[in-house]
Structure 1
Amino acid sequence: MSRKRVLVAMSGGVDSSVAALLLCRQGYEATGTTCKLFGNDDLEGSACGIGGGDPDSGIVGESTCCSSRDIEDARQVAFSLGMDYFVFNYQGLFGREVIDRFCKEYLCGRTPNPCIDCNRYVKFDALQKRRRQLDFDYVATGHYARRTYDEKTGRYLLKCGLDPKKDQSYVLFHLTQDTLEHMLFPLGELTKPEVRELAREAGFDNAGKSESQDICFVPDGDYASFIERRYGHTFGSGPIVDMHGKVLGEHRGIDRYTIGQRKGIGVAAGEPLFVFRKDAETNTLVVGTDSETRAATVRANDVNLISVASIDEPLRVTAKTHYRMKAQPGWARIEDHMLVMEFDEPQRAAAPGQALVLYDGDTVVGGGTIVSA
């Protein structure tokens, strides 16, 4: 029988490199690919050249991804494993579906997650289309997640990675049954130290490579300046008000703040204040105390269900409203095509634009994009 063919998404980092290594050892016919996502045209005016960086990609610093250095690192690993290797140019797609979406969401006062959009529209959707065109059986990535098949329901399941510190199931809630059928996650049962050790044993130069911590196209973290350079528009100063509408001070532009933020608001108070809402229409920043800014009910649209075909009655689950939080218990239901989560205890920092992801133990039930809390 012919070997199964797999297209391995390789970022140049240690995770995707070890994913490729494991697939080769397991007998797959693996081909490496890196997605070129942006260049100077996409990042016009970005801090190119500051602190080292790659002049070709317009990216700076060691914590970014998708630079020419990363492409070379991926190429070296692929060649060392005897794999074919290709670079696919998705700059236009990335600009439309990730960068522009990110900017527009921020200008509407929401807090988008560009990594989820990148996974959804580029690393999975586009690569799955390329898989079909090239007649491959699977696409594989270095995400810390697991895929299984439930014989009773006939559905593919997305499960948490076994390393709780690295589990990335939250950013994969959008995966469909068709996509999961043709996905492989070789690192799902490994820890990060184990992955690095495998890379060292294989002699990979990137075994000790640091991880990307920032949004790749805004490496300095200054979202407002990036949006202003790209769109020629940003928010000016405006009022900071409490939950009752009392003016407490003046903000520097609501796009410079995130929901749940505590430090750097610029208002002195008897107890810590947190950002609760950003009103783009009135350019107003609403803040409140910890208890005031918590919400028990979270609503999300753009719903995708994985472990179940539908939610016809309230379902007991745990849920996350942002990546780092511990999943909290409550009841989920579908109401007017919206996913509604009623937490047992009010939660803070449920930001419109972020993801609401439901879990049944270590299995992802599904999720959606937060609209309100």
Structure 2
Amino acid sequence: MSHSTRVVVGLSGGVDSAVTAHLLKQQGHDVVGIFMKNWEDDDDSEYCASNIDFVDAAAVADVLGIEIEHVNFAADYKDRVFSEFVREYQAGRTPNPDILCNAEIKFKSFLDHAMRLGAEKIATGHYARVRLNTTTGRHELLKGLDPSKDQSYFLHRLNQAQLSNTLFPVGELNKTEVRRIAEEIGLPNARKKDSTGICFIGERPFREFLNRYISKEPGPIKDPSGRTIGQHVGLSFYTLGQRQGLGIGGLKAKGADMKALQARGLRGAGEHTPWFVARKDIPNNTLWVVQGHEHPWLLSPQLQATDVSWCTGEAPAPGAYAAKTRYRQTDAACDLQALGMPDGSRGFELSFSDPQWAVTPGQSAVLYDGEVCLGGGVIQSASACPQTTG
């Protein structure tokens, strides 16, 4: 973009979006800021910081000399993101609302609003990049250059229309450089810590929040031998691989499970070997747990995914790729095969060279070809490694 372009930037109150706006202004573009309010319920509580974030965003706009508009997308968010979030949890799956929020709010509602304001492009503070492939004429979503901050996983559902209208300036930088720039130009939020957790929940206790929206039905916690070793508070409140909050510390494995642990070199297997959530049996309302991080029930050589979304609009050819089954995971080598679903929809199956840990239904499996994020789908099921007793 050599000419001055009207760019509407999503200013969140954080340092990444602030530096995004600065870089675009520095490049000579006509920059306008928008602060998105996506959650209204109990917004005045100690955990919700949207009012503080808006004050920070407004202070950034003042320093940069740009206009800022406060826009309320809470109704869209509740309808398109939160309702799906609750449905998935009620069904015993573990959804990723940040991915849905990006596809439905930040790059749909926000994009539409920005275009009505006369924007030619929108920009956010995500650590990712967009490149036009001159051979295919398609826009590609690329990983951010800072591997520890890359957010392409959360953006994998963006389509061609969204990618072609979006800029990610900080995707070209390391986080340390972003902080340095913010300090250098005197941004008031230069040292503000990064937000964590789900956007609308903030820092509040997760189980307490979920309890308001999802019915609880306690049931047994069992180990692989079928022994009942505790009681869960409701399957929706647990996720695969979870270690904390099970209330069963100090119990020893028994019989074949003890032998299996010891065969894998865990000589001290017993009360000090941690328990992990391995399976959620919805029909029988049973939570299955295992001892040891590398228990076969926690390792999956294959997964099946549906509700697919490809950045180019077309599924990649079957073959060898890399994938992430959770954010911050290193890319895992895999083989992609198309999968026809019983309802006629499209899906895919991934087979991994190395079994993946705690593959979780409801989370996303995202495919990569080198630095290019191809898209992905929602994990429906995963096969566990066969258990051996040594």
- Bigger Rg over Cα: 2
Answer yes or no: is the 8 Å Cα contact 1:307–1:364 preserved in 2: no
SS of residue paired to 2:115: helix
Summarize deviations over 1:228-248 as a string: whole Å, max 9, x none. Answer: 32x3x4223211123464433
The 5 Å alignment of 1:95-134 reads: 95-134=78-117
Identity, % of aligned positions: 41
Aligned match of 1:60: 46
User: Which residue among 351, 358, 364 is the counterpart of 1:355?
Assistant: 364
The number of residues matched between the two structures is 352
User: Which residue among 323, 326, 329 is the counterpart of 1:322?
Assistant: 326
Answer yes or no: is the 8 Å Cα contact 1:59–1:217 preserved in 2: no
Is 1:140 the counterpart of 2:123 in the alignment?
yes
- CA-atom RMSD, angstroms? 1.9
Summarize deviations over 1:266-307 as a string: whole Å, max 9, x none. Answer: 332334432122233432112235222211111111111125
- The separation in 2 between residues aligned to 1:185 and 1:250, in whole angstroms, is 47
Aligned match of 1:342: 351
Query: By how many angstroms is 1:2 displaced?
Result: 6.1
The 5 Å alignment of 1:181-260 reads: 181-229=164-212, 231=213, 233-243=214-224, 245-260=226-241
Equivalent position amino acid for 2:246 in 1: I
- The separation in 1 between residues aligned to 2:86 and 2:203, in whole angstroms, is 16
User: Which residue among 82, 86, 89 is the counterpart of 2:69?
Assistant: 86
Equivalent position amino acid for 1:328 in 2: A
SS of residue paired to 1:302: strand
Distance 1:59 1:324, change over 3 A: farther
- The separation in 2 between residues aligned to 1:182 and 1:207, in whole angstroms, is 27
Answer yes or no: is the 8 Å Cα contact 1:235–1:283 preserved in 2: no
Equivalent position amino acid for 2:364 in 1: A
Is 1:364 the counterpart of 2:373 in the alignment?
yes
Answer yes or no: is the 8 Å Cα contact 1:296–1:347 preserved in 2: yes
Aligned match of 1:180: 163
Summarize deviations over 1:66-92 as a string: whole Å, max 9, x none. Answer: x11111111121122221211111111
Query: By how many angstroms is 1:255 displaced?
Result: 2.6
Range moving further from structure 2, 90-99 or 27-36: 90-99
Answer yes or no: is the 8 Å Cα contact 1:214–1:221 preserved in 2: no
- The separation in 1 between residues aligned to 2:288 and 2:347, in whole angstroms, is 25
TM-score normalised over the length of structure 2 = 0.85
- The separation in 1 between residues aligned to 2:376 and 2:64, in whole angstroms, is 37
SS of residue paired to 1:187: helix
Aligned match of 1:303: 308
- The separation in 1 between residues aligned to 2:167 and 2:229, in whole angstroms, is 52
- The separation in 1 between residues aligned to 2:306 and 2:240, in whole angstroms, is 18
Aligned match of 1:19: 20
Q: Which runs of 4+ in 1 moved over 6 A?
A: none
Equivalent position amino acid for 2:239 in 1: T
SS of residue paired to 2:18: helix
Answer yes or no: is the 8 Å Cα contact 2:159–2:312 preserved in 1: no
Equivalent position amino acid for 2:278 in 1: F
- The separation in 2 between residues aligned to 1:310 and 1:174, in whole angstroms, is 13
Answer yes or no: is the 8 Å Cα contact 1:318–1:358 preserved in 2: yes
- The separation in 2 between residues aligned to 1:133 and 1:272, in whole angstroms, is 54
Aligned match of 1:50: none
Range moving further from structure 2, 73-82 or 242-251: 242-251
Query: By how many angstroms is 1:220 displaced?
Result: 4.7
- The separation in 1 between residues aligned to 2:369 and 2:223, in whole angstroms, is 37
Distance 1:159 1:281, change over 3 A: same
Answer yes or no: is the 8 Å Cα contact 2:160–2:313 preserved in 1: no
Equivalent position amino acid for 2:326 in 1: H
Range moving further from structure 2, 266-275 or 185-194: 266-275
- The separation in 1 between residues aligned to 2:186 and 2:277, in whole angstroms, is 47
Q: Which runs of 5+ in 1 are unaligned?
A: 44-56
Query: By how many angstroms is 1:328 displaced?
Result: 0.4
Range moving further from structure 2, 303-312 or 173-182: 303-312
Equivalent position amino acid for 1:13 in 2: G
Distance 1:104 1:25, change over 3 A: same
Answer yes or no: is the 8 Å Cα contact 1:224–1:255 preserved in 2: no
TM-score normalised over the length of structure 1 = 0.89
